[in-house]
């Protein structure tokens, strides 16, 4: 075997191994390690729950904001300890008026500056010891806030995210399948050390642990690792449940994830995620496994594809790898004509993997705006 063939074979096996590990192996490893970690005895709940300010950033949300405020007002939480703040980010519709009419305690009408800056301003005005956050189109279960803030009974916890379920009456999007797997990983990470990512539908921080980040860098990814760097725990509370309407189509999910990744890559490459400062070895390993390798999957796929083509004739495994990749691509294409579940899953996987690279391209080519638009079909 020539040196060139050997080099190609090494690239193939390393890339394929990392790809399988990122998608499946990491979850298996967490499932093995998490039960070995001694469970921490839960801290007793305080006699009086903390005062909480729930902040809803909103842009052009006149169709859903009244329902969001009403849902928060109906939570099983002492009314005198709950403040509802709607931070309107330059909304030109009736979002502010409808939020006030629905009973929000404070409605901020801010110049257009993006979701993060709207949240920052709301935190400055918040009266609660805990600040919780929610999307305008999310719905929380009655006990969600009580369950969410119960994690702060542990004085080491600085951030907690809840469980969000994506709901859809119809459509081709397969996000629900992926998200259930992601929530399982989050539960294992939380038990083992701290989560490596959150979600925008339901999460909270102590007001003292809140971090002001670059306005193009969303809280979902930047908060957990920043909390760990500052000595806090970032945990997942599965009993704090919320739901959101899913983007109805796979193509719409591609566009949503492409936009999200244009905000994610700046966090990964220049936002401090790759800096080991403040990480213990276990959490650094989790960041590399769940975040860095996951976001690298389109490039690992490309390496596997190119090397498997180049190595045809040097072993059956390379032909099998090429055939498997071709089958997935053909299934993804066929899903546009025949929307059978296996074909739709293949299409979802191909397009959402491609969105990781597309988001990087968008950020490198034209940067990322701080402002955002509601995802089509989710209101």
pLDDT in tens, 280-306: 999 999 999 999 999 999 999 999 999
Dig out the tokens for 57 from the structure: 């950033």
Please say whether the beta carbons of 352 and 254 come within 8 A: yes
- Supply φ then ψ for residue 239, to 5 degrees: -80, -10
* pLDDT above 70: residue 142: yes
* pLDDT above 80: residue 184: yes
Whole-number mean pLDDT of the chain? Answer: 93
Q: What is the pLDDT of residue 374?
A: 74
Closest CA to 240 of 315, 148, 307, 170: 148
Q: Nearest 5°: CA angle at 199, between 120 and 190?
A: 110
Q: What is the pLDDT of residue 40?
A: 60
Please say whether the beta carbons of 182 and 195 come within 8 A: no
Give residue 19's pLDDT band: very low, low, confident or very high (50, 70, 90): very high
Q: What is the pLDDT of residue 172?
A: 82
Q: What is the pLDDT of residue 42?
A: 63
Q: What are the residues whose beta carbons fall under 8 Å from the beta carbon of 155, sequence distance 6 or more?
A: 43
Mean pLDDT calculated for residue range 351-356: 97
Q: What is the pLDDT of residue 369?
A: 85
* pLDDT above 80: residue 372: no
Strand ranges across the sheet with 82-89: 106-110, 82-89, 52-58, 130-133, 203-206, 157-167, 233-245, 139-140
Q: Nearest 5°: CA angle at 38, between 32 and 43?
A: 130
Q: What are the residues whose beta carbons fall under 8 Å from the beta carbon of 56, sequence distance 6 or more?
A: 65, 68, 69, 72, 84, 85, 86, 87, 99, 133, 134, 135, 136
Q: What is the pLDDT of residue 321?
A: 96
Would you tell me the crossing angle of helices 26-33 and 175-192 to the nearest 10 degrees? 40
Mean pLDDT calculated for residue range 171-178: 83
Closest CA to 141 of 65, 62, 237, 51: 237
Beta bridge partners of 274: none
Class of domain 52-248: alpha beta
| Cα-based distances in Å from 311 to 38, 317, 324, 348 | 47, 9, 15, 28
* pLDDT above 90: residue 45: no
Please say whether the beta carbons of 219 and 135 come within 8 A: no
Beta bridge partners of 243: 139, 165
Please say whether the beta carbons of 229 and 277 come within 8 A: yes
* pLDDT above 90: residue 176: no
Q: What is the pLDDT of residue 105?
A: 97
């Amino acid at each position: 075997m020539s040196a060139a063939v050997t080099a190609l074979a090494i690239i193939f096996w390393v890339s394929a191994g990392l790809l399988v590990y990122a998608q499946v192996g990491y979850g298996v490893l967490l499932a093995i390690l998490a039960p070995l970690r001694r469970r921490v005895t839960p801290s007793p709940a305080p006699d009086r729950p903390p005062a909480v300010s729930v902040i809803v950033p909103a842009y052009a949300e006149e169709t859903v904001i009244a329902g969001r405020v009403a849902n928060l007002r109906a939570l099983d939480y002492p009314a005198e300890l709950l403040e509802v703040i709607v931070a309107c980010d330059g909304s030109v519709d009736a979002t502010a008026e409808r939020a006030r009419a629905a009973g929000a305690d404070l409605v901020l009408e801010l110049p257009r500056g993006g979701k993060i800056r709207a949240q920052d301003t709301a935190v400055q005005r918040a009266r609660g010891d805990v600040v919780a956050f929610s999307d305008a189109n999310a719905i929380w279960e009655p006990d969600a806030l009580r369950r969410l803030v119960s994690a702060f009974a542990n004085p080491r916890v600085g951030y907690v995210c809840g469980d969000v379920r994506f709901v859809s009456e119809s459509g081709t999007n397969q996000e629900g399948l992926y998200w259930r797997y992601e929530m399982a990983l989050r539960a294992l990470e939380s038990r083992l050390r701290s989560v490596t990512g959150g979600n925008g539908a339901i999460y909270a921080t102590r007001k003292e642990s809140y971090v002001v980040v670059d306005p193009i860098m969303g809280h979902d990814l930047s908060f957990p690792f920043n909390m760990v760097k500052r000595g806090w725990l970032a945990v997942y509370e599965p009993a704090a449940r919320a739901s959101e309407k899913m983007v109805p189509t796979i193509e719409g999910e591609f566009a949503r994830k492409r936009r999200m990744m244009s905000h994610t890559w700046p966090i990964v490459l220049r936002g401090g995620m790759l800096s080991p400062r403040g990480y213990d070895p276990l959490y650094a390993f989790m960041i590399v496994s769940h975040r860095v390798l996951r976001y690298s999957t389109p490039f690992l796929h490309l390496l596997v594809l190119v090397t498997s083509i180049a190595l045809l004739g040097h072993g059956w495994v390379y032909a099998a790898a090429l055939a498997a990749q071709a089958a997935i691509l053909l299934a993804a294409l066929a899903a546009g004509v025949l929307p059978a579940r296996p074909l739709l899953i293949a299409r979802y996987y191909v397009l959402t993997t491609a969105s990781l690279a597309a988001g990087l391209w968008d950020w490198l080519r034209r940067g990322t705006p701080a402002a955002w638009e509601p995802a089509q079909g989710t209101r």
